[in-house]
Chain A
């Protein structure tokens, strides 16, 4: 599954296509706690979170995530799109709950 597929599966609105839009997703991290995200050491990771802040994008960049999808339909702070553009980070927003998003993504990931 690539990021484009994940965005489609989650009926997400693409905010910034960034550098990761067509990249494969090998790991998915679901957390609102960036401290936890910073502990992850995996390549090609998709970050699902209901936390909408600039620091989510910066954290995703630090751990080398390919994309960030904000769930629960959270509205984004005005600065977030610009930060995503600056970092080249793929950013999308889904109305799915975190729980349902996890289920949908799980069905698409290779078992």
Chain B
């Protein structure tokens, strides 16, 4: 505060409200969300409205008592809603040292005040605290009446509350966007060629599919079901067909695997789908497969299962698992 000098003021003091720069230099490096916030919020949104005031004839010791009682460090001096000055803790200390604590506030108040207007952006207030190093600023309305007071604690509290709400909004918006993407768009589609009797590479497609799902944090049980369906169908293409393609896509909360080959085709599809039936030879069995459980297992892990086949044309098997959405994308 400016140095307090004894004076008697009958007219309101002149107020400095020059706007200056909108933002201090160090605020310019803050995140955009914060910059937007301190521009959007007005001083009136942040200030304390219930202001403890004094009139000019009140003795300084009463100001001291109020500061102690209300835990405040400055009290505006007003009459008829008009701001005339401000008594700060420094003024009280000087009054005690000078032995004039019983004198009226109006004689020793600080009158060279810097004030803010209530419709200024909060960035002005931050800039003023940075520039003037005062503990508080009185706030006036357009009619020059005192309507509030603002200190740095008010700003911190308001920014924390607003930022918390802003982050909540951002999280919900982000979750909604991801949910919409998962619900409405194909976000993964891959084809894996599978060659006949290629035991060196068979299983790689299923492992890749599982890895992609694990990366997206789908539940273990879901990952396992999709993986089993993919692996069994991949083995079938390798063992029973002349080669084909394993296609996998995630769309609308569904994992769809389609195994397509160009032959030789299955003569009796119903028989092939029975437990324990297989045309696999001993060599295939020696590799740990061909027990006649493949299609049964695919059916077991699938929410939707479909097989079509024609001898000399080929076989298509479709397995759908309802996978929902990964936990990380679920809305709050």
Contacts and interface: CB of A to CB of B under 8 A. Distances in A.
Interface of A: 32-36, 38-39, 41, 43, 49, 51, 53-56, 58-59, 61-64, 79, 87
Given A33-B291, A34-B289, A62 B210 contact: yes
B98 interface: no
Contacts of A41: 221, 224
B220 to A, nearest CB: 6
B288 A55 contact: yes
Nearest to A56: B288
B288 A54 contact: no
A80 B259 CA distance: 27
Interface in B189-232: 199-200, 202-204, 206-207, 210, 220-221, 223-224, 227-228, 230-232
B265 interface: no
Contact of A39 (B206, B289, B293): B293
Q: Which residue, A51, A54, A55, has most C-beta atoms of chain B within 10 A?
A: A55
Contacts of B224: 41, 62-64
Interface in B215-262: 220-221, 223-224, 227-228, 230-232
Contacts of A43: 220
The number of chain B residues touching the other chain, given as a range, is 20 to 34
5 cross-chain pairs, A with B, having the tightest CB-CB distances, nearest first = A58-B203, A34-B288, A35-B291, A62-B227, A35-B293
B287 interface: yes
Interface string B55-99: 000000000000000000000000000000000000000000000
A33 B288 contact: yes
B207 A61 contact: yes
Contacts of B297: 35, 38-39
A54 B203 contact: yes
Contacts of A35: 288-294, 297
B231 A59 contact: yes
A62 B231 CA distance: 7
A35 B232 CA distance: 8
A61 B228 CA distance: 10
Given A34-B289, A39-B293, A63 B203 contact: no
Contacts of B221: 41
Contact of A53 (B227, B288, B300): B288
Nearest to A64: B224
Nearest to A57: B203
B177 to A, nearest CB: 31
Contacts of B199: 53-55
A75 to B, nearest CB: 16
11 contacts: A35-B289, A35-B291, A36-B293, A38-B231, A38-B293, A39-B297, A49-B288, A58-B204, A61-B227, A64-B220, A87-B207
B305 to A, nearest CB: 16
Nearest to A37: B288
Nearest to B293: A35
A59 B288 contact: yes
B40 to A, nearest CB: 48
Given A53-B288, A55-B287, A58-B203, A38 B210 contact: no
